[in-house]
Amino acid sequence: MKIIKLIPSLFLASVVWMMDDAIITAVAAAEQDVAEMEAEVVVEESATQGEEELIEEDVVTSEEGETADDETVSDETGESEAAAEEEVATEAAAATDDGETTSDATEEAATQQQESEAAADAAADKKEKQLPVQAGPLVDLLGPSLLSLEMIDETTAQFKQHLTSDALAGKKVIGLYFSADWCGPCRQFTPELVNFYNRMNNRRGRKGEFEIVWISRCRDVDSYGQYFTQMNWLAMPPEEAMGQRGMALGDKYKVKGIPSLVLLDDLGQVITTDARNKIPQDTAGIGFPWRSPLATVISVILPRSLRLMLGNQLGIIKSKVIDKVKSLLPGRAKAPAMA
C-alpha cells in the first residue's frame, strides 16, 4: 500500500525532474540563441562601423581631392592672371617705349629740320652780306650773282660764283638761253650753240664780247648740274632760274617754248628774241647780233650813259603808252559799282 501511495509522488517528482531538465535545456538553448544573436549584432555593428569608416575616408579623400583640385585650379587661375597681368604690363611698357621712341624720333627730325633751315638761312644771310652792293640794269634783271662750272679734274667739277656786274663787264651782247635737260630739241641745239658761242668770241677785234646766261628749266638741282657740264658759259643759280626770277624773265620775253635764245645789249635792251632760229640760218654769224639798222646806228653814235638814260625814258614812255592802250580797249573799263 505504501508503495502504491508513493507512485504518485514518484511520478510527480519524475515529471518535475523532467520539467526541470526541459526548462534547463530551454534556458540553455535560449541563452545560446541570445549569445549568437549578440555575436551577430556585434558582427553587424563592426561591419557597419567599417562601412561608416570607409565612407568617412571616402568623404575625406573626396574633400581632400576637391580641396586639392580647388587649390590647383586656384594656382592655375592665379598663374594665368599673373601671366595676363605680366603680358599687359609688357605691352604697356612696349607701347610706352614705342611712343617715347616715336616722340624722340619726331622731335629729333623736327630739330634737325629746324637746324637745317637755320643753317640755310644763316648761309643765305652770310652770302648776301658777303656780296657787295651792285647796280645796273643787268643786275636788276639777272640778280646779284651768276655761276660758272670749274673743272677740278677730268671727272669732277664745282660751281664758282661771280658777281653779275663783274661777270658781264665789257660784254656787248648777252644771250639769255632758256633750256632743260629733259627737252630733246634743247639737247640738239646746245652743242650747236656752243660752237657758235666759241666762234663769235674768237672773232678778230670782238673777242669776249658775247656772253650767254643759262636760265634753267630743269626739274631739280642734280639735273641742272649734269646738263651744265655741256656748256661753257654762265648760268643763273638754280634756285633763281627755277624760281620766281626765272619765271618772270620767261614772261617778260614771252618765252612760249624751249629752247629759246633772247639777245640783249649791255644795257639790257632787247636786240632780238628769235636768236634760236637765226643761228641755224647764219651759222657764220655774219649778221650777228642781228640788230635793226636804227639800233645799230644808235649803239655806234650814242655813248653808253646817254643810251642808258634814253632807254630808261623810253621804258617809262612805253609803259605809259601800253597802260593807256589797255584802258581804251573794250572790256577794260571799270564796271560801275552796284548799289
pLDDT tens-digit readout, 322-334 = 777 778 877 554 4
What percent of the chain shows pLDDT beyond 90? 42
Which CATH number is 268's domain given? 3.40.30.10
Least confident of 102-111, 194-203, 230-239, 329-338: 329-338
Q: Is residue 266 part of a domain?
A: yes
Least confident of 35-49, 106-120, 268-282: 35-49
The pLDDT confidence band at residue 141, using thresholds 50, 70 and 90, is: very high
Q: Is residue 254 part of a domain?
A: yes
Q: Is the pLDDT confidence value at 49 over 80?
A: no
pLDDT of residue 64: 54
pLDDT of residue 333: 46
Q: Which residues contact 48 (CB under 8 A, 6 or more apart)?
A: none
Q: Is residue 55 part of a domain?
A: no
d(CA 266, CA 209): 10
Task: Quote the number of domains for the chain.
Answer: 1
Q: Is residue 154 part of a domain?
A: yes
Q: Is the pLDDT confidence value at 254 over 80?
A: yes
Preceding peptide of 289 cis, ω within 30°: yes
- Is residue 161 classed as helix, strand or coil in its secondary structure? strand
Q: What is the pTM of this model?
A: 0.56
Q: Is residue 237 part of a domain?
A: yes
Rg over alpha carbons for the chain, rounded to the nearest Å, is 62
- Is residue 212 classed as helix, strand or coil in its secondary structure? strand
Q: Is the pLDDT confidence value at 42 over 90?
A: no
Maximal C-alpha separation, the chain: 219
Q: Is residue 98 part of a domain?
A: no
State the residue range of the domain holding 273. Answer: 137-284
Q: Is residue 29 part of a domain?
A: no
d(CA 172, CA 176): 13
Least confident of 60-64, 83-87, 99-103, 303-307: 60-64
